[in-house]
Amino acid sequence: MINAWRFGALRVLFRGACSVLLTVLSVSAVSETVESPFKSLDGEWAQGTIVRGQVRPGTEIQFLDRQVRVSDSGHFVIGLGRDFEPEARLLTRAPDGEEREHLFEVRQREYRIQRVDGVPQQTVTPDPEQVKRSREEAAQAWRARQVETDLLDFTETFVWPLRGRITGVYGSQRIFNGEPRAPHFGVDIAAPTGTPVRAPAAGVVTLTHPDMFFSGGTLIVDHGHGLSSTFIHLHKILVEEGERVAQGDIIAEVGATGRATGPHLDWRMNWFDQRVDPTFLVGPMDDDD
Ligand SMILES: [Zn+2]
């Protein structure tokens, strides 16, 4: 009896040691003896990117304390925010229960930081009604970005919603008199009011708002598994909440609504709360079309 129990305990210990060993093996990825849970893994591991992949069916994934949605075909997506730490940790659990830890080095980016000193201090008392309104609108947009559906549109190759001069980039930040302002999370494309905005990928409309305080005409499209596109400062929105859109469909018109200095499209992308850089999905814009 006692011997059997001790043997059991030893086995547990041994299995513990084994899983540590497996972890080390999968991290080094050189002398991997066990089949990798990943069939594919696409995307650079850098701040502001998304990584798309496919695992063997039945594999579970954990990332940032979230159970990552994996489709029946094994497809998944994760996003890394602007200030993501230098290392990303992903846990997988195979159908046989085997757990593995995968570590990835995350490229740290340098963002465009603009320091403006000696600006006269503005003592503007915010209008409490305005503060309340913008908070409610931010919560509304936040809720739309928490939507998690089984759409697989995130696996598509994304296209630019329109072409034009890029006037604002992801991650940039202004520091006034040493006080950092909120970073800019979208890509700004200058275009005249009324220019058509096309869906960069298929999806379902999760939010339309004609005129939010900061972002003006606001439209959010869900591409599935937590990946969404947000378009702001729109002049007109041509789709409705719940509507399915195909890639290339005209969904809105460029404007200068909300707090915008001139007509442009501000396109943002999120994986839930991780704000990612849309330009990573579409690549450089061709000048000739
Ligand atoms: Zn912008």
For ligand 1, the distance from its centroid to the CA atom of residue 266, given in whole angstroms, is 5
CA of 259 to the centre of ligand 1 (A): 10
Edge-to-edge strands, sheet with 66-68: 66-68, 60-63, 87-93, 99-105
**What integer pLDDT is reported at residue 3 of this predicted model?**
32
Ligand 1 midpoint to CA 183 (Å) = 10
Q: Is 127 found in the same domain as 263? A: yes
Determine the distance separating the centroid of ligand 1 and the alpha carbon of 172, expressed in angstroms: 10
Q: Are residues 197 and 141 in the same domain?
A: yes
pLDDT of residue 9: 30
CATH number of the domain to which 188 belongs = 2.70.70.10
Q: Is 150 left (phi over 0), alpha (psi -120 to 50) or beta?
A: alpha
**What pLDDT is attached to residue 280?**
93
- Name the pTM for this structure: 0.86
CA 11–ligand 1 middle distance (angstroms):
58
Query: Per residue in 69-88, is it b (16+ CB within 10 Å) or e — as a string?
Result: ebbeebbbbbbbbbebeeeb
d(CA 220, CA 224): 12
Sheet with 38-42, strands from edge to edge, namely 38-42, 50-55, 75-79
Residues 246 and 262 in one domain: yes
Last residue within a domain, chosen from 74, 105, 136: 105
CA of 174 to the centre of ligand 1 (A): 13
Residues 163 and 237 both lie in one domain? yes
Boundary (domain end) residue, out of 87, 105, 123: 105
**In a domain? residue 288:** no
Main-chain dihedrals φ then ψ at residue 93, nearest 5 degrees: -130, 115
185 C-alpha to center of ligand 1: Å? 7
Indicate if 177 and 245 belong to the same structural domain. yes
Q: Which of 105, 140, 164 is the last residue of a domain?
A: 105
User: Domain of 139?
Assistant: 113-282
| Per-residue pLDDT, 176 | 87
Cα(24) to centroid of ligand 1, in Å?
43
Distance 186 CA to ligand 1 centre (A): 5
Total residue count of the chain as it appears in this document: 289
Tell me, what's the pLDDT at 19? 38
CA of 283 to the centre of ligand 1 (A): 18
Ligand 1 centroid from CA 181, angstroms: 14
> Is 73 inside a domain boundary?
yes
The answer to whether residue 94 is domain-embedded is: yes
Cα 38 to averaged position of ligand 1 atoms, centre (Å):
36
- For residues 68 and 198, membership in a common domain is answered with no
Determine the Cα–Cα distance for residues 256 and 191; give it in Å rounded to an integer. 10
Consecutive 10-residue runs of the chain (289 residues): their mean pLDDT? Answer: 30 34 42 76 96 96 96 97 97 95 97 87 78 95 97 97 95 91 94 98 98 96 98 98 98 96 97 97 73
